[in-house]
Amino acid sequence: MDTDPDKKDVRDRSTRFVELLTSHQRKLYGYIATMLLGDPAAADVLQETNLDLWAALDDYDFERPFLPWAFGFARQKVLVYRRSHCRSRLLFGEEALRLINQACMDYASEADDRLVALRLCLQKLNPQQATLIRERYVAKTPVKLIAEHLDETVQNISSRLHRIRKSLAKCIQATLVAEGR
Amino acid sequence: MASAEHRFAELLSLVLDGACSDAEREEFARLQRENPRLVVGHLDTIFTHSLLQWQSEDISDCMTLELAAKARDDVAEPTAAHSARYSRRTFWAAGAAVLLVAAGFAAWQVVRAAAVDQPIAEVVAQSGVTWATDSTALVNDNLVVPGRLQNKAGSFTLQFRSGPTVRIAGPTSLEIKSAMLVHLDRGQATARVPESSKGFAIKTPVAKVVDQGTEFGVAARDDGKTDVIVFEGRVDVQEMAGPRLQPRSLIIGDAARIDALGSIDRIMEIGRDTSGQWWTKDPGTDKYLIASVNDNIVSDVSDMFTCYQTTYGGLQDDALAYADNPYHQWNGLTAEGLPAFLRGADYIKTFNDYRYRQDFELTIVISKPTNLYVFADNRIPPPDWLKNQFEDTGVDIGLDEGPWLRQAEEKYRKLDKNTTAVGAGKSIDNTFSVWRRRCVNPGPVTLGNAGKWATEGKRGRAMYGIAATPMDAPQPASDAAPRGSGI
């Protein structure tokens, strides 16, 4: 057993930090993905954020809440990503980003509860809605392809998906309120 | 204002679904710049979209359970005839299948007609298959619904009703997630995907391979790595780990091995049999005449994934000549076909793109006494390395090149009257001399470049082909006294 108190402290800090990092992955992803408007690169940006967070382990004060501190790193990575991808950079101005950032932090801090609620709400979809959501998010079928197979326009399919997402968002909110979360 | 909000919502949905044009994206950006608060009312929807993306695996299970529950409700009162015909297990499996297929892409038309009674795939061929008991995707022996398929041995072919054909070989464990997604946990799958099903994906523990209109193979190896090879067209490969943000494209003739850390390496060669089966070769094997193939293309080119394909016993009329071309075929010059001494030979698909590389070298390691043949383009003088190491047998064969304008735009391709003919002696575009070297001793043989014209501006040329037969196999008819060169 290692009895050196300095080494033990380092190990304890690392262990506690890993626990914090892993338990907040969903919240961090939710924050990043929303800031990036659902860009598939969100998972990569999360990975880069994790690396930055890990590199800053020595600077972290365990007396402070983890999430706001981690969101700061995530926000920097999102901005770097947006600067390096001109198509994404077109999407939001500074004011919109500020508004999104604030709301994102609220939503993301509730990510675990929201996910539980989402699972309940998915069970309320009718078969057609469930089919569409499954193809879009589980099979990851491009919307263009879904539209071709259904002989509909991309706009129609995207509009239907948007209505389902909106319904799910309302359902999630109602579920959280009903359960007093 | 109301119309701006409505339009913003429309454009937002297209952005989230990755379906907006550049013009629509610009319009979306302009609207939010003019009124940044437009986005506020949609943040809960965007966040829901993020959760759906993040948790796609979880919601898959969740929705599967939900659909199965609906299935139980709908078939809660089966007829006596049904009860008598089906065992309990079959009954529940079939009942769940009825609703589960509603989630499959192949069932779109069925969903529209509010009828959901079709599986998403069928087992259309099988050989020596031993199914594991938890093959939940299998219904009535050959129909396939979302669920797990495990075979302990043998091979089988799945025909998805949405178009893709997937051949599975050897001990395999996979999960059919939908008509467009298969999780391959162990074993080997080879998929041919029609244009209409572009986007079909095979996911392993370390990589996701998304078809872009092609034929490709994926092997989830026992050592945890994944092999990907593209036989035609293109696939996008996304490593599950590693620093790369965007998928990597592999094109016809490419093969790569991905590990759990996201590193990706070139696979230099694979073996194939005459049924199309493929395998990645272990270096140094002496089971075959050709033990290994290796070129001198520098390995520090990170996006170089070209892979030689050796088909054992596979040389015959209409055999594809190059790994990077889906049309060019070796053929005999007359209806009699390829000369008898070449028919059934092992042969290597080389890369026609390498015909212009003057520094090119290919090293073939021979494991047994072998007749090694090189097919050299008659349009150009034989290069020195060929004249020095090989002898011209005096026999010629042909290359049927097929369409010439395959890289051109669609409107020009329609004008292309050249096609690949079926059978020998037809549509021969160029002739090749068959050169032979009798390799008495095992060891390496190094071949050089394809050769070149003495002066520039001459006609084109094609890469050479390579074949091998056992030393005691039939020889060219004109062969009076074969001489052994030894190596």
At residue B68, the pLDDT reads 39
Class at the top of the CATH hierarchy for domain A110-181: mainly alpha
Tell me, what's the ipTM? 0.84
Mean residue pLDDT of chain B comes to 80
Sequential DSSP letters for A51-76: HHHHHTGGG--TTS-HHHHHHHHHHH
Q: How many CB pairs under 8 A join A and B?
A: 214
* Residue A165 to residue B52, Cβ atoms within 8 A: yes
Q: Is residue B476 within 8 Å of B436, Cβ to Cβ?
A: yes
Higher model confidence: residue B467 or residue B354? Answer: B467
Which amino acid, residue B453?
W
pLDDT attached to residue B104: 32
Chain B residues with beta carbon closer than 8 angstroms to that of A105: none
B53: nearest CA in chain A?
A137
- The answer to whether residue B443 scores a pLDDT higher than 70 is yes
Task: Show residues of chain A in contact with B45, CB under 8 Å.
Answer: 162, 165-166, 169
| Yes or no, beta carbons of B15 and A104 under 8 Å apart | no
Min CA distance, A16 vs chain B (Å)?
24
C-beta atoms of A145 and B58 within 8 A: no
Most A CBs within 10 Å, among B8, B48, B245, to test the A interface? B48
What's the pLDDT at B382?
94
More confident residue, B347 or A116: B347
Asked if A122 lies within 8 A of B59 by C-beta distance, the reply is yes
Q: Which of A31, A102, A121, A131 to mutate to test the interface with B (most CBs of B within 10 A)?
A: A131
Return all residues near A46 (Cβ < 8 A) that are at least 6 apart: A25, A28, A29, A32, A74
B chain contacts of residue A142, beta-carbon cutoff 8 Å: 18-19, 199
| Nearest by CB: B40 against A99, A122, A157 | A99
Domain residue ranges of chain A, discontinuous segments joined by +: 1-109, 110-181
Task: Tell me: pLDDT of B365 over 90.
Answer: yes
The position carrying tokens 């809605």 is A129
Contact check, Cβ <8 Å, A137/B9: no
Residues of B in contact with A140 (CB under 8 A): 56, 180-181, 199, 201
CB distance A115–B53 less than 8 Å?
A: no
Q: Do B16 and A145 touch (CB under 8 A)?
A: no
Q: How far is B100 from chain A (nearest CA, A)?
A: 9
Q: Among A104-118, B62-76, B132-146, B412-426, name the one with the lowest average pLDDT.
A: B62-76
Structure tokens at B307: 């892979």
Q: Residue B328: pLDDT band by 50, 70, 90 thresholds?
A: very high
Task: Using an 8 Å CB-CB cutoff, list chain A residues near B25.
Answer: 87, 90-91
Q: What is the pLDDT of residue B348?
A: 98
Mutation target to probe the A interface, by most A beta carbons within 10 A, among B38, B52, B73 is B52
Highest mean pLDDT among B82-96, B182-196, B394-408: B182-196
Whether the per-residue pLDDT at B75 is higher than 80: the answer is no
Residues of A in contact with B60 (CB under 8 A): 134, 138
**What does the pLDDT look like over A109-127, one tens digit per residue?**
777 788 888 988 988 888 8
| pLDDT for position B362 | 96
Instruction: Report residue B129's pLDDT band, with 50, 70 and 90 as the boundaries.
Output: very high
Long-range contacts at A81-86 (CB < 8 A, ≥ 24 apart): A81/A36, A81/A41, A81/A45, A82/A36, A85/A41
Nearest to A68 by CA among A102, A23, A91, A18: A102
Taking the CA atoms of A49, A50, A56 and A59 in sequence, report the sign of the dihedral they define: positive
Contact B102, B116 (CB under 8 A): yes
Supply the pLDDT for residue B63.
Answer: 46
| Best CATH choice for the domain A1-109 from the list 3.30.450, 1.10.10, 1.10.1740, 3.40.50 | 1.10.1740
Amino acid A136: pLDDT: 87
- pLDDT band per the 50, 70, 90 thresholds, residue B302: low
Nearest-Cα distance to chain B for A2, in Å, is: 30
Per-residue pLDDT, B94: 29
Which chain A residue has the Cα nearest residue B22? A87
With tokens 């599950």, the residue in question is: B240
Once rounded to an integer, what is the mean pLDDT over residues B324-333? 93
Return the pLDDT at B300: 46
The residues with which B165 forms a beta bridge, in sequence order, are: B159, B192
pLDDT attached to residue B71: 37
With b for 16 or more beta-carbon neighbours within 10 A and e for fewer, the B229-259 pattern comes to: bbbbbbbbbbbbebeebebbebebbbbbbbb
Contact list in B for residue A100 (CB cut-off 8 A) is: 39, 43
Model pLDDT, residue A39: 76
User: What pLDDT does residue A162 have?
Assistant: 93
For residue B57, the chain A residues in CB contact (below 8 A) are: 138
Q: Does pLDDT of A98 surpass 90?
A: no
Residue to mutate among B10, B11, B13, with most A CBs inside 10 A, is: B13
Considering Cα of A50, then B301, then B192, then B288, what sign does the dihedral take? negative
| B483 pLDDT above the threshold of 60 | no
Is the CB of B58 less than 8 angstroms away from the CB of A100? Answer: no
Mean pLDDT along residues B429-437: 94
* Contacting residues of A for B51, CB less than 8 Å apart: 30, 111, 114-115, 118
Smallest Cα distance from A132 to chain B, Å: 8
Q: What value does the mean pLDDT take over residues A53-67? A: 85
Q: How sure is the predictor about B60, in pLDDT bands with cuts at 50, 70 and 90?
A: very low
pLDDT above 90: percentage of residues in chain B: 44
